[in-house]
Amino acid sequence: MPLVTTEAVVLHAFNYLESSRIYRLATRESGVVSVLAKGARRSRTRYGSAVDLFAQGEARLYVKPNRELQNLAGFDVTRARAELAEVPGRFTAASALGELVMRFAGEEPSPVVYEALVRGLDAVAAAPADGAADAALGAAWHLIARLGFSPTVDICSGCHRTVPMDEAAPFSHPGGGVLCASCARGVPGARRLPGAARAALRAWLAGEAAAAGEAGDAGARRAHQRLLREFLGEHLSDGRELRAFAVWERGAWDAA
């Protein structure tokens, strides 16, 4: 059974039997993997002193092909991200990002998804309490883009004509993005996005921060979050509820 060393982020953890733990890790080289840390609850010597949720470091795995649960030989933490636990909104936002990766990234190696996750968690950890929502929205949309499901915001998803960015435009989840006025006539129920909202979405998909004022006020941010949930439901949902996302959407980021 070969030993694999890879960068990793802890996305989920739970106790197993009397002395062990099972972790779900996002890794650079091996995608999302489940690992068994034998004896982790008795001694943290092999696994580091801070292998908590969203910790990042070097994981050493004994990997056996076609096995659902790999063995964790060790984990050296390089970034604990304790800031995420200091503000409830940061923690719920980070949990939502972790859930997106666990559910939709899969086991195939994807360094770009891993990097998007790391950048997103760092952005949420560094954000002030009142800025955690914007940081998480940007990180989530950038993750979606890196997963290959980016919606169109510059051109009509129906006829591919350019839709001027300073204009409000209907957004169709089934269509995969904005629509021009002509195509929108045949798509009932499309959500109308103001120009500022489209500009924020465009920046987030590219991995950039939205310009000041583009994300809007608290109501606009909730609208952005609803748009994100609806898009996930249309293109990435496997029929199961996104529980961490639901907690985040209820507005926990406002708690300090």
Whether the per-residue pLDDT at 78 is higher than 70: the answer is yes
pLDDT at 40: 67
Instruction: Phi first, then psi: give them for residue 160, nearest 5 degrees.
Output: 70, 20
Lowest-pLDDT choice from 176-180, 214-218, 231-235, 250-254: 250-254
**Token pair 């409000």: residue:** 168
Overall size of the chain counted in residues: 256
pLDDT of 255 > 50? The answer is no
| Rg of the chain (C-alpha set) | 20
End-to-end CA distance of the chain: 47
pLDDT tens across 98-157, in order? 999 999 998 888 999 999 999 999 999 999 988 888 999 999 999 999 999 999 999 999
Neighbours of 177 (CB within 10 A): 23
Q: Are 35 and 59 in contact (CB under 8 A)?
A: yes
Domains and CATH numbers, the chain: 3-79 (2.40.50.140), 83-150+190-251 (1.20.1440)
Whole-model pTM above 0.85?
Answer: yes
